[in-house]
Structure 1
């Protein structure tokens, strides 16, 4: 199961149903005021069970899809059990009272039902508010995490750019040195060519002088 809250609610619901079942089954043993008190206690248990079921349904609907179907299936079984106990409770509560008892019971029951309804609405509103706040906190935490990751990534990119800039500076310096070396080599090559040309000219002059002296003098 993916939700610890759902499991805790399921334990609470199982405990509530286990307590409710003997209360409903024992209603036939009571009469008069005792039976009215027993019915009220059982009805409170039914409302408590329905409230837990609503919270479980909310939790199940927000669960991942791979767990949601299983959670909703178990929830439907619990709802059927509670509905059956509620039917048995109504059947038991409608029997065993005189007309005056029924009138007093219905009047008190309507008042208590109205109060319990308002109380349940308050609980539901509070639960929705808590869930909304929890989602807001989660979104804020996720936003903070994204911001931290972005700042970290920007810091890493800045370091990369700084290293790249340093490498470009070193490369430019190396290129300048290379250009100077190439210029020096070019000058030396030109000097060597000039010297070689002068030597060749001198050799040709000497060779021409020798030929002239040998054949024409």
Structure 2
């Protein structure tokens, strides 16, 4: 970012725009990963995270449009500067003898160059702003992904606890069934013993 801020040549500005494009591409990949992992969450936790992910995707789309505008502006300004340079070279080769007209053309060229420089500065400032916002989004997305991973780990621990509880309940059920059979056997033995004693 510091290199881009101090850039004064078109190649440096294009490099800054390329860096911004790479940052946007990386942020989009993180958003897509979050969208995939968000689908595995329970509905109670999925709603709020889905809203934030959609907000990130919308902001990334806006940054992408702004970056394309900056790139088009840079291209147009470069073309205009080249055309002005050609016209200036053509006019400088003529010997019209009219110094006033020559001065007017020079002033007009100077004004066009100044306007082009202003547009380039605005485009460069927009590129820097997009880089900073992209970096902020990447940081936020990284924190969201860490939160999501912690949530998944917590759900995994809870799932293991539920499995252990289910096994304990199954064992208790089997023991209860066994105890019931034993009690029935004892009751039957008591009845038979009673009948045997009471039989004349």
User: How does the TM-score come out when normalised to structure 2?
Assistant: 0.49
TM-score, scaled to structure 1: 0.45
User: Greater RCO between the two (CA within 8 Å, min separation 6)?
Assistant: 2
Larger Rg: 1
